[in-house]
Amino acid sequence: MEKQNKYNKREVMKFAGAFIAWVIGSGFATGQEVLQFFTSFGYLSYGVVLLNLIGFLFFGQILVSTGFENKDKTAFNHFKYFCGERLGLFYSWLIPITLTLIMSVLISGAGATLYEYYGINHYIGSAIMAIAVLCAYLIGFDRLIKIVSSIGPFIIVFSLIVGIITIVRDYSNFSEVPKYKSLLDEMKAAPNWVISSIVYLSLNFLSGSIYFTGLGKSATNKDDIKYGALFGASAIIATIIIMNTSILLNVKSTISLEIPALYLAKRISYILGAIFSIALTLGIFSSCSAMMWSVCNRITIGGKKGNKIIAILIAIFTFILGLFTFSELIGIFYPLVGYIGLVFMACVLYKAYSLHR
């Protein structure tokens, strides 16, 4: 008897897109995040990529599976599940703060993108994004997944197109990378490439843990979410490889830019750059919307009305903080969140080991 497929391809693609949507934010899609955590280490950036491939596949599976397996527990807290009562409570209160800081980076990225390509005032661009994210939150998580799951793959494809064309055109520059070591050193988000790998994983999976377990809870079939996370993680790392290489090949021109990926798109075609700027804005929207849900989902003061008021206050706060320089915010907040999450990552590893030994 022929074995039936246990998964729904459409659902797998939906969850893959939703998984991607978290990571594809202003830092990633603009290339600034890739520049600081990967490209800044020159040839060793491919070591960072390799460790992140392993980490994304491992931690992605654990978090979405944990969410699915505990979907019927209304009071389930994944921080307490992995870290114990006291440390879990600490992270439960800390995560809304860290996500709010990251959201401010995304809001700033939106302002920088709209200003650089369209000349829209940075403040106005940031305000537009803050309002859009607030509206997306108010429509609900299920509808939010449908929106962001379609945005993520679009940005991945577009980033790959820009990166591949750039690599084909500029591959001869690869041997010149060591010449710019001193410039690259100034952009490093961590002391060495191994620590940068770990901090980047921690940044994504501490801040994204609420969202990823939420994805697991929303699934009706474990294989759908399992394969969705697998394909989503693989697509993210493939895109990082291409983006990292394309920035390396143009390091002299991109090292001082707020949005290196947009520069690469504009070099190919002004029209392509315009389309890519829209893709970047959508990427910022997808990640920021997911974070808004994660933050507000942790705060239940005053019922639905109180929750909406809190969402409005968060949107206003992130807009104000997002008025600072985009690259500086990434350089400060992203490594900070990554270091904060190291203990959480260790707890996840230990829990996984204890369950399978």
Complete DSSP assignment for 242-310 = HHHHHHHHTHHHHTT-S-HHHHHHHHH-HHHHHHHHHHHHHHHHHHHHHHHHHHHHT--TTHHHHHHHH
Residue 63 lies in a domain: yes
Res 62: pLDDT: 94
Check if the beta carbon of residue 189 is closer than 8 Å to that of residue 273.
Answer: no
pTM of the model: 0.84
Res 3: pLDDT: 44
Q: What is the pLDDT of residues 220-236, one digit of tens each?
A: 898 999 999 999 999 99
Residue 287 lies in a domain: no
Q: What is the pLDDT of residues 154-196, one digit of tens each?
A: 778 888 899 999 999 999 999 999 999 998 999 998 999 999 9
**What is the domain range of residue 174?**
9-92+140-267+325-356
Residue 319 lies in a domain: no
Residue 211 lies in a domain: yes
Residue 304 lies in a domain: no
Report the number of distinct structural domains present in the chain. Answer: 1
Res 300: pLDDT: 67
Res 144: pLDDT: 62
Residue 160 lies in a domain: yes
Residue 116 lies in a domain: no
How far is Cα 60 from Cα 115, in angstroms, rounded to an integer?
A: 34
Res 2: pLDDT: 41
Res 31: pLDDT: 85
Alpha helices by DSSP H, listed for the chain, are: 9-23, 26-30, 32-37, 45-69, 78-83, 85-118, 122-138, 141-170, 181-185, 193-207, 209-218, 222-249, 251-254, 260-268, 270-297, 303-321, 326-340, 342-356
b/e 230-262 (16+ beta carbons within 10 angstroms → b): bbbbebbbbbbbbbbbbbbbbbeebbebbbbbb
Res 141: pLDDT: 57
Structure tokens, 221: 């079939």
Check if the beta carbon of residue 262 is closer than 8 Å to that of residue 273.
Answer: yes
Q: What stretches in the chain show pLDDT beneath 70?
A: 1-5, 25-27, 140-150, 152, 300-303, 357
Residue 177 lies in a domain: yes
